[in-house]
Amino acid sequence: MRITRLARIVTVALKHGLDEFALGHERTRALRPFVNAFFFWRDLSSPRAVRLRQALEDLGPIFVKFGQMLSTRRDLLPTDIADELAKLQDRVPPFPSDQVVATLTRIYKKPLDQVFKSFDPVPVASASVAQVHFAQLPDAIGAKSGAQVAVKVLRPNIVQVIEHDLTLMHTAAMLVERLWKEGKRLKARAVVVEFEKTIRDELDLTREAANCSQLRRNFKHSPLLLVPEVHWDWTDTDVFVMERMAGIPIGRTEELPRAGIDLKRLGRAGVEIFFTQVFRDGFFHADMHPGNIFVAVDPTNHGKYISLDFGIMGTLSERDKSYLAQNFLAFFRRDYHRVATAHIESGWVPPDTRVDELESEIRVVCEPIFDRPLKEISLAKVLVQLFRASRRFNVEIQPQLVLLQKTLLNVEGLGRQLDPDLDLWVTAKPFLERWMEDQIGLRALERRLIAEAPYIVSALPELPRLLHQRLLAAPVASDMAIKEFVAAQRARNRWLAVVALLLAIVIALLSRHLLP
């Protein structure tokens, strides 16, 4: 099968003239006339980026998904290729319903009519990895009795297909780095490794269910966002059963006003949801294209966003969040010097980078975008310019920020659809300022003390014993050494007093939070 698949890939690549990428290297350039003469029948009139996109579409859904991921790496790809790959659409025909039934019967180990009260064999959505069917849970299941659900089923044999394609992608990446003149800067093998991690995560639907459950918990009482409930008793590696959500796809902007939805308010809410996920939780939905976002129109949840498809989620550490917030706020305030120093402090640029040069480069990119509505700003173009500046200063684009960049572009796209006059910067600035105050104020100190309380409580009683052991182990010393030791002991005593005070604060906080 692997040889057949390899032959198929080579055939498609030659058909679309992708040998151009390999034959651009000085060691292989001499072969180009012979290849062109042998494959004289090819139509190579389209630009290389268009031919690459068409080849990925011909190779099937996994290569399409890989191209979609590549399109977000504007720090690595030439602009023409990144723009063209962004047009890739994951349109996949559904697999037969008898295979769906066979998969579910294997998982549940009993006939389907004994698992669900009803099950619609016609899928409502189909993608490269899985497809979705509507169903109803059986009656006698307590609070979940008769619940309407969506059942996401993994494609049969998709794991084997992906394994074969990943092996071939690794081989192709190695050749790209060796034979294409831009291959080393592209870091093709690292990109394939990144894609492999993402696609493997999507193959385990329990992981997606856990992502959904986490996001739902984060926004449990939110007035802005709904996340479906996970039905864990019916969920497995190959099947994910969740609450069925009803609403209007956010891309149908002509229907939303007829349902009484305020598009301007919806646009602002989308920005707030994004920044809340990123800076409050460090856990964000990283696949926010219009097909995954609905708007609720029922009386109880009218106007709320509905989030679907949780296979791709992004995470950020506290350090990442802090530096990102500092960068965003510095951008909003046009403090380009602070942007430059934050990049150096975070380790995103080499430590020997000249701050004044980086500051100047950032000013050239960002100054033109301010005081203009979103409809006049292309965030994608701003990012492209920033990535070009990054190359000059050898910026190592952080893997955890790649999904964030992609998601920010999606937020921009949704904003354009809902309210062309929405100003992303003005909408986000108050939220970020509140977040920063929360991070450096007394509430932040309280949270950190509570988080560290178990360690402080366990370590503090050991200090007298450790000091006593140190005294016993100390050799007989001179008068000067004794004076130095006494001074050090006084310093330790002052430190212990501070620790004791902190411990008292921690105990008081714990009492307030934990005691009824």
Distance CA 450, CA 356 (A): 41
Task: Tell me the backbone φ, ψ of residue 164, rounded to 5 degrees.
Answer: -60, -45
Question: H or E element: which one contains 55?
Answer: helix 48-59
Task: Tell me the backbone φ, ψ of residue 266, rounded to 5 degrees.
Answer: -65, -40
Token pair listed for 437: 């105050």
Distance CA 416, CA 412 (A): 6
Distance CA 339, CA 333 (A): 10
Q: Residue for token digits 């068409």?
A: 54
On whether the CB atoms of residues 225 and 218 are closer than 8 A, the answer is: no
End-to-end CA distance of the chain: 64
DSSP lists the bridge partners of residue 508 as none
On whether the CB atoms of residues 307 and 434 are closer than 8 A, the answer is: no
The Cβ-side half-sphere exposure at 257, using a 13 Å CA radius, reads: 7
How does strand 225-226 pair with strand 305-307?
Answer: parallel
Q: Is 287 designated active site?
A: yes
Determine which one of 165, 236, 238, 287 is catalytic. 287
On whether the CB atoms of residues 302 and 296 are closer than 8 A, the answer is: yes
Task: Tell me the backbone φ, ψ of residue 271, rounded to 5 degrees.
Answer: -65, -45
On whether the CB atoms of residues 148 and 91 are closer than 8 A, the answer is: no
By annotation, the residues acting in catalysis are 287
